[in-house]
Amino acid sequence: MSELDRTAGSPCRPRHFKPNLCAPAPVEGPVRTALDVSHVRLIVAAALFLAAFLVIGGQLVLVMAFRHGEVHAARPQPAVKLAAARADITDRNGILLATTVAASALFADPKEISDPKQTAADLARILPDTTADELYAKLTEPNKSFVWIKRQLTSAQELQVNALGVPGLQFQSEERRIYPKANLVAHITGFTGIDGKGLAVIERGLDGQLRGGEPARLSIDTRVQYILRDAIADQIEQFSAIGGMGIVMDVRSGEILALASLPDFDPNDPGGAVPDQLFDRATLGTYEMGSTFKIFNTAMVLESRVATMSTPFDATHPLQIDRFTIHDDHAQNRWLTVAEVFEYSSNIGPARMALAAGIDRQRDFLGRLGLLRQPSFELPEVSAPLIPSPWRTVNSMTIAFGHGMSVSPLQMATAVSAVVNGGILYPPTLLAHDPDHMPAGRQVMAPGISDEMRRLLRLVVTGGTGKFAESAGYVVGGKTGTAEKVAGRHYARKELLSSFIGVFPINEPRYLVMISIDEPHGNRASSGFATGGWVAAPGVGRVVERMAPLVGIHPVDENSPEISQALLVDMPVPEGRKLAAD
């Protein structure tokens, strides 16, 4: 009997089970109907889900591909564009002079301060420029939910306030202007207010540019600035002066490498400065500059051909004009050539030279040098000159030797630069020039007269009143000046402004260095003198020695035939000298 025969009519349980031989029989009747209905429902539901997915996907594609512009336009836009941070100020070498950093402002909700007295006392210890009483008054203001406590906190102050754990104290982010070089460049950078607006000097003069995010690269060389400020401070201390000022200028471009006025202040804390510290003597002060003004009078008579180097002028006796008597501090009591008038810093000689030239020539020449108008400059704090009106003969004579007309040191430096650089007047600037686009300047004086003036300026240092400005190897030329300051309608004889204007190398001028010391007092080392030759000239000499290597000026043999010949001054004996000796 076969295997299949044995299992017929019985449950399918083969010894070696094979599924295909024992598959269940198809379902029939009501069960089959129910299964078919379920299958149809599943298919319909899946189709509906697929249709919904396709509709939603299509809408997304439509929005992204075709309606992007509409959707972008519908997005809420900021009402006001956020302002850029105030831009940096750097020196010509990229040294940071002013920058903006993140800061915090502290405010309080008095209603949330549970112990205002203790909180005020704690805050007063953290914020030294406040008092507990002031803070307590703020923290107990009735019906107030917001009061400012302190703007522009330092990071350390913010941490200390946070550590108090007082719920009613909160912070708001803002910006703070800082000045890494502090006092060194105070009268150059200036400062801003709490709102970030420029209030003084470059910060004010270039406020629009800096607030717009455009940085300012200045012509200042921080290294030279330090040297100049240090020299001025030394002379102030040595001669017990009330202040001083100085300028270093590139005579070929008008760029200012250093500008200092002492006493100065910390621009990080301008509120702690007194008015005398905020006052810029170099640009805002106007002074009768004394014998330094003889530079212009001498150049005027030479250019107008009223005189030559060898033309003699009578300096045998003091000169009387109206109620004034003009006399020489270094009297030679004889006739002097133009060269000797300059070398000995005579007052009588320039007065007679001005008489010979006339008022019109004098006024025209000073005007060409920019000495009769307010200079154009990046700083708002710039003074206009004080000139006589009417301009009479006596004014012309006193202006010739530096009295009766007041200008700023900035104007002096600019005009002297034109006298020595070949007669080209460059506007003074605190902004660094592009080396490929240097300013053209304006010719205001004959180049040949400039050459003669350089020889005279060298003569002052080698044999005149400026010998203490000599710097071995750097061929300095210059002029001393000592002026009595005006007090009301009279001169204060013991209140001097002592100055020296130096140029180096004088044979090929590159830089001008000017120092003025305000109200110096003579000492034992100066034999009691407080003149420009004793007080300011040594300071200029030290500046030249220290800055020359930094700006690429190499020492030379000043006695070499080439330099000696370039600076040789023809000093013929004037005919009047023999007459005076008889």
User: What pLDDT does 33 receive?
Assistant: 63
The DSSP secondary structure of 300-348, one letter per residue, reads: HHHHTTS--TT-EEEESS-EEETTEEE--TT---EEEEHHHHHHTT-SH
- Three-state DSSP at 266 gives coil
Residue 172 scores a pLDDT above 70: yes
Is a pLDDT exceeding 70 seen at residue 505?
A: yes
- CA–CA separation, 84 and 419 (whole Å): 44
Quick check: 582 pLDDT over 60? no
Round to whole Å and give the CA distance between 13 and 43: 38
For helices 409-420 and 447-463, angle between their N-to-C axes, nearest 10 degrees:
110
User: How far apart are alpha carbons 277 and 520 in whole angstroms?
Assistant: 18
* Span 133-141, average pLDDT: 93
Q: How many CA atoms lie within 13 A of 331 on its CB side?
A: 10
| Residue 464 neighbours by CB distance under 10 Å | 21
pLDDT greater at residue 172 or residue 280: 280
Strand-strand pairing, 490-504 and 477-487: antiparallel
Q: Which amino acid is at 301?
A: V
* In 365-454, beta strands by DSSP E: 424-425, 442-443
Q: How far apart are CA 459 and CA 336, in angstroms?
A: 15
Structure token digits, residue 296: 């212009």
Lowest pLDDT segment from 41-45, 89-93, 501-505, 577-581: 577-581
Residues 4-17 have a mean pLDDT of: 44
**Residue 330 pLDDT class (50, 70, 90 cuts):** confident
Q: 426-459 pLDDT, tens per residue?
A: 999 999 998 888 888 999 999 999 999 999 999 9
What domains lie within the chain, and their CATH numbers? 101-109+120-154+164-176 (no CATH), 227-581 (3.40.710.10)
Give the pTM: 0.80
- Which is nearest to 498 in space by CA: 288, 349, 294, 276? 288
Instruction: Please give the mean pLDDT across all residues of the chain.
Output: 87
For residue range 469-478, what is the model confidence (pLDDT) as tens digits? 999 999 999 9
* Strand ranges in 398-476 using DSSP code E only, listed in sequence order: 424-425, 442-443
- Residue 53 banded pLDDT, cuts 50, 70, 90: low
The pLDDT score that the predictor gives to residue 77 is: 40
- Segment 249-308, tens digit of pLDDT: 999 999 999 999 999 999 999 989 999 999 999 999 999 999 999 999 999 999 999 999
Residue 67 has pLDDT above 90, yes or no: no
Active site residues: 291
Q: How confident is the model at residue 539 (pLDDT cuts 50, 70, 90)?
A: very high
Q: Is the pLDDT of residue 567 over 70?
A: yes
Regarding beta strands 216-217 and 89-90, do their DSSP bridges make them parallel or antiparallel, or are they unpaired?
A: parallel
Structural contact between residues 90 and 83, judged by C-beta atoms closer than 8 angstroms: no
Query: What type of residue is 398?
Result: T
Question: How far apart are alpha carbons 458 and 475 in whole angstroms?
Answer: 8
Of 485, 533, 488, 502, whose CA–CA distance to 288 is shortest?
485
- Type of residue found at 76: P
| pLDDT value, residue 4 | 40
Phi then psi dihedrals of residue 353, to 5 deg: -65, -40
- Helix (H/G/I), strand (E/B), else coil: 485: strand
For 154, other C-beta atoms within 10 Å of its C-beta total 14
Residue type for position 217: R
Q: Which helix (H) or strand (E) element contains residue 259?
A: strand 256-262
> Is residue 581 predicted with pLDDT exceeding 80?
no
pLDDT at 46: 65
Output the pLDDT for position 76.
Answer: 39
Q: Which pLDDT score, from 0 to 100, does residue 482 have?
A: 95
Strand pairing partners for 178?
A: 99
pLDDT at position 423, please?
97
- Whole-number pLDDT of residue 32: 61
% of the chain beyond a pLDDT of 90: 70
Cα separation, 314 vs 317, in Å, equals: 8
pLDDT of residue 202: 97
43-57, 324-338, 568-582: segment of lowest average pLDDT: 568-582
What pLDDT score was predicted for residue 22?
Answer: 44
pLDDT on residue 491: 74
Percent of the chain exceeding pLDDT 70 equals: 83
25-46 tens-digit pLDDT: 555 565 566 556 566 666 766 6
